[in-house]
Each structure stands twice: as C-alpha cells, then as structure tokens.
Amino acid sequence: MPDGALDEEDELNFQKWWGTSERRLNVAKAMIRDISISLRENQRLESLDADAGLDQVVREQKQKKERVYTQCREHQNVIDTSYSCLQDMARASKQTVDSITQLTHQTPSSTLMLG
C-alpha cells in the first residue's frame, strides 16, 4: 500500500474516532448537567425538609411545654385546696380549743345560768 493511502485511511479513522469521542463527550456533559441539576434540586428539598423537621421539633417542644404548664396548674390547684383545708382545720381546731377552755373555766353557777 502506498503511504498516501495509509494517511487517508488514518485520517478517516481519526475523524471517525474524533466524531465518536465528540458525541460521547457531549452525552457525558449532558449527564453531568442532569446530575448537577438533580443534586441542586435534592439539596433544595433537603433544606425544606430540614426546616420542616425544625418546625416539628418546635411543635413538640411547645406541646411538652403546654403539658408541663397544665400539670403545674393542676398541682397548684391541689396545693391551694390543701392549704385552704389546712387553714380551715387550724381555725376549727382553735375554735375547739377556745370552746374547751371557755367551758373548763366556767363556774358551776354560770353553767346553771346558761341552762
């Protein structure tokens, strides 16, 4: 084969290879672009989910806080009622002691006057 024929054949093979490589490179670039777009979209969605997760945490904290405040109010009601009952018992006890003291110190003649 003459050298000129090889050069033409080599040139055709090179052009064929170059064309194939160029097409594959364009396909690879398109795939990279699609992956990058998908990655950015996934990151955006994850950031929204993170905000939603944060909202959920805040909601749970508020619910816990409300539960604690409700329990505190209930305990405060029990404490107030207990304190009121203790005061009533102290007053009743004092009145009883006063009545016993008054009855003990009464003379028999004053008992007759009352009766």
| Statement: the pTM of the whole predicted model exceeds 0.85 | no
38-54: average pLDDT = 82
Residue 106: what pLDDT? Answer: 80
Residue 77: what pLDDT? Answer: 93
Residue 107: what pLDDT? Answer: 64
Question: Which residue, chain included where needed, has tokens 């009145």?
Answer: 95
- Dihedral (CA of 16, 20, 23, 26) sign: negative
Spatial separation of the C-alpha atoms in residues 104 and 92, rounded to whole Å:
18
Average model confidence (pLDDT) across the chain = 85
pLDDT tens figures, 72-107 = 999 999 999 999 999 999 999 999 999 999 998 886
Residue 58: what pLDDT? Answer: 86
From residue 104, alpha-carbon distances to 2, 52, 92, 101, 111 in Å are: 149, 77, 18, 5, 11
Spatial separation of the C-alpha atoms in residues 69 and 77, rounded to whole Å:
12
pLDDT tens figures, 9-24 = 888 888 898 899 999 9
From residue 107, alpha-carbon distances to 84, 97, 113 in Å are: 36, 18, 10
Q: Read off φ and ψ for residue 80, nearest 5 degrees.
A: -60, -45
* Strands, E assignment, the chain: none
Q: Is 3 helix (H, G, I), strand (E, B) or coil?
A: helix
pLDDT tens figures, 51-67 = 777 788 888 999 999 99
